[in-house]
Chain A
């Protein structure tokens, strides 16, 4: 199933039981797979047109009336374009608005540099009270949605919208505010998020072959960080590799560094966008030129393991 189908399905299910949910689009309802909701709930699912700033503050207004708006667009327009509306109308005013951004980072593909958000997590992470969640697969997204609804406050959902292989099984426990462990190991801690989780698991096959057993942890919620589980892993391994589909400034690496430097500094390496702008290309090509392939992860893991603290 595509991520956007899982999103639509879950929104539909929740809208049926909760009359306060509204879904607002800014002319990207079609690519985000939400057109059917507008048909089924004409009062509560609607389009404001190409007007993202308007959308964010309209949502805040509706929230002040007791509604729970989910606003939808591509990640760059869901964050940098409407940063002040999110900061003031939504976060500062303490309104319960959920922000869905699709096509994060390199997954904007042919839409290129203008649509490729490498800074969106960084932009929102420095605004108080916003929960930042990046689902890995449809299982995680579906399990997260009711918890996101239960959380009274702004949540940014940074999601890939197309088909992606499932990493998690339906039986697994999921908690929005805890990390998800993918493999237990002692040689190093790999913290990974979003699209890069699949790539990390691919790298892990190589790492296993050369006898490296990493503690692999999916940080699906980048804010607030699940500090106890991160600390526990790092105390065990003494070395960290972060892997993300975002600028290494402002995203997962930054969040982990900010925390560990104060609590338990250890050698660290990172995979991600090294402070570059986006460009057109398919995901595989972009992974290659930004050095985000499994082989890059393997190389970094070997290197950082050799520098581990304990």
Chain B
């Protein structure tokens, strides 16, 4: 997985450039899902950058839609659009808004940003694929803070009721939201037991920044005959020291020229190592 680790560092650089060019953005929650995105697009997603709307393709719904910059970086590397697009984040007329938009960005399968809704959309897509019998796998990523929305649990009951074993979801369990840590605001534990009680298979990935661990979890989920929740223990702002040390405040941050340059240097070094 050395190759994927290197790819993750490249993606972090792109995220930084994307947000740094604008000067502000959702950096923490973008950095915590880098490994999951990289593993998905490298090893699992059946999709075609030349034909983003290909019938029967696997789909990814990033329900925590504010992580757009991470998704865009991965899609650009995959060839959905040129890396230059990343520099247009939130600029006039851009195809890359803060929150994922299926009508603006090639490769985005659902419009998200109002937390909770994307997960129900994913359940609907998984149900539709079942009826069409097209063999697609539907992936979804939700936030831990987002998991406080009742809609998440409504969707989870629907998915188990309808035996949506083609639905594989990830919780980005970075333990943080905007106003504080998850434990301070509204704790989720025991999270794995909750999902099991809702009729899902659960895989707990102890290090959500380990590509191998994520890959095995997805392979397990594909064999499960239930919808599967992969709980990724992650770190908000992972891999870039100023973001990581900001903790909760990394959610949306100003990234000025000096910070950008320093972090780039840090990542550059990591890529050479």
Chain A residues with a Cβ under 8 A of chain B:
25, 27-31, 35, 47-51, 53-54, 76-77, 81, 110-115, 279-281, 285, 289
Contact = CB atoms under 8 A, between A and B. Distances in A.
Contacts of A51: 148-150, 186
Contacts of A76: 114
A48 B115 CA distance: 15
Contacts of B149: 50-51
Interface string B66-103: 00000000000000000000000010101001110100
Contact of B99 (A25, A29, A35, A112): A112
Contacts of A48: 148, 186
Given A47-B186, A50-B149, A110 B178 contact: no
A279 B97 contact: yes
4 shortest interchain CB distances as A-B pairs:
A114-B113, A49-B186, A49-B148, A112-B97
Given A113-B97, A281-B92, A49 B145 contact: yes
30 contacts: A25-B179, A27-B145, A27-B148, A27-B177, A27-B178, A28-B179, A29-B178, A35-B179, A47-B179, A47-B186, A48-B148, A48-B186, A49-B177, A49-B186, A50-B148, A50-B149, A51-B149, A51-B186, A54-B150, A81-B114, A110-B24, A110-B90, A111-B98, A112-B99, A113-B113, A114-B65, A114-B99, A114-B112, A280-B90, A289-B92
A111 B99 contact: yes
A115 B99 contact: yes
B128 interface: no
Contact of B185 (A27, A81, A115): A27
Interface of B: 22, 24-25, 65, 90, 92, 94, 97-99, 101, 111-116, 145-146, 148-150, 177-180, 185-186
B153 to A, nearest CB: 11
Contacts of A110: 22, 24-25, 90, 98
Contact of A281 (B90, B146, B180, B185): B90
A28 B178 contact: yes
A293 to B, nearest CB: 15
B22 to A, nearest CB: 8
B99 A50 contact: no
Given A29-B178, A30-B179, A47-B180, 14 more contacts: A27-B185, A30-B178, A48-B148, A50-B148, A50-B177, A110-B90, A112-B98, A114-B99, A114-B111, A114-B113, A115-B113, A115-B114, A280-B94, A281-B92
B273 to A, nearest CB: 34
A130 B211 CA distance: 52
Contacts of B185: 27, 47, 49
A280 B179 contact: no
